[in-house]
Each structure stands twice: as C-alpha cells, then as structure tokens.
Amino acid sequence: EDQVTQSPEALRLQEGESSSLNCSYTVSGLRGLFWYRQDPGKGPEFLFTLYSAGEEKEKERLKATLTKKESFLHITAPKPEDSATYLCAVRHDIYSGAGSYQLTFGKGTKLSVIP
C-alpha cells in the first residue's frame, strides 16, 4: 500500500538549534513531493515542491532535499515563529498510464521552538 510516513511526530528545539524532519514514501511513479506548513486553526500553507532525487530548495531558514525514498526538511537556527506542524505530501501515479492529481499526506511533524 502506498504510504507517506513522517518522523518524528513531535520535535522540541531550543531557538537556534538546527535539526531535520523526515518524510519517507513508498509510492510508485512519484510526480512531486510537497512540503506544507500548518499553523493551529489554519489550512496548510505551501512551502516547496521537489520532483527528482538530488533536488534541493531553500526558503529563509528552511531547506528541503529529496532522495529516491525520502525527503528531509532542514531547519537552520530556528526561531519561535517557525513553530508549526510541517506536512509532507506526494503526488503520484494512481491509475496505470494516467497522470495523478491527488495529494497523499503524511500525519505531520509538530515542531515547537522554545525561546
């Protein structure tokens, strides 16, 4: 069964303490891997799309990388305002020979950055 697994479920960091979040996937025909940030009471906010192994994207203190089996979201010198749940999602071939449009999400990693 196709799966997206995120780890850890929760992560507490001191301000300035860099770390990484992991997203592993077991889908066939990956069309894109997406990272979203979700604040309490809000909808997911788009961060990055990665398409192929070796690709990297950066935005402020965040850098996303992709391998054939997993993606990492690296957070460098985090600040309290980086506290949120980070969701990983994949778009992949669901029907043989056809394109895909659904996003399959992981359960997310809840990040807390303590001042």
Q: Answer yes or no whether residue 24 interacts with another protein by CB under 8 A.
A: no
Q: Answer yes or no whether residue 46 interacts with another protein by CB under 8 A.
A: yes
Q: List all residues 6 or more positions away from 39 whose beta carbon is below 8 Å from its beta carbon.
A: 45, 84, 85
DSSP 25-52: E--SSEEEEEEEEE-TTS--EEEEEE-S
Residues 8, 95: Cα–Cα separation, whole Å: 31
Q: Answer yes or no whether residue 54 interacts with another protein by CB under 8 A.
A: no
Min dist CB 82 to another protein, Å, is 19
Tell me how crowded residue 77 is: count the other CB atoms within 10 A of its CB.
12
Q: Are strands 10-14 and 104-105 parallel, antiparallel or unpaired?
A: unpaired
Q: Answer yes or no whether residue 103 interacts with another protein by CB under 8 A.
A: yes
Stretch in the footprint of another protein (CB under 8 A) among 12-20, 35-43, 53-61, 71-79: 35-43
Q: Choose which of 2, 15, 17, 45 interacts with another protein (CB under 8 A).
A: 45
Answer whether the bond into residue 8 is a cis peptide, omega within 30°. yes
Q: Answer yes or no whether residue 21 interacts with another protein by CB under 8 A.
A: no
Q: Choose which of 19, 22, 83, 100 interacts with another protein (CB under 8 A).
A: 100
Q: Footprint of another protein on this chain (CB under 8 A)?
A: 4, 31-32, 34, 36, 41-46, 49, 51, 87, 89, 91, 99-108
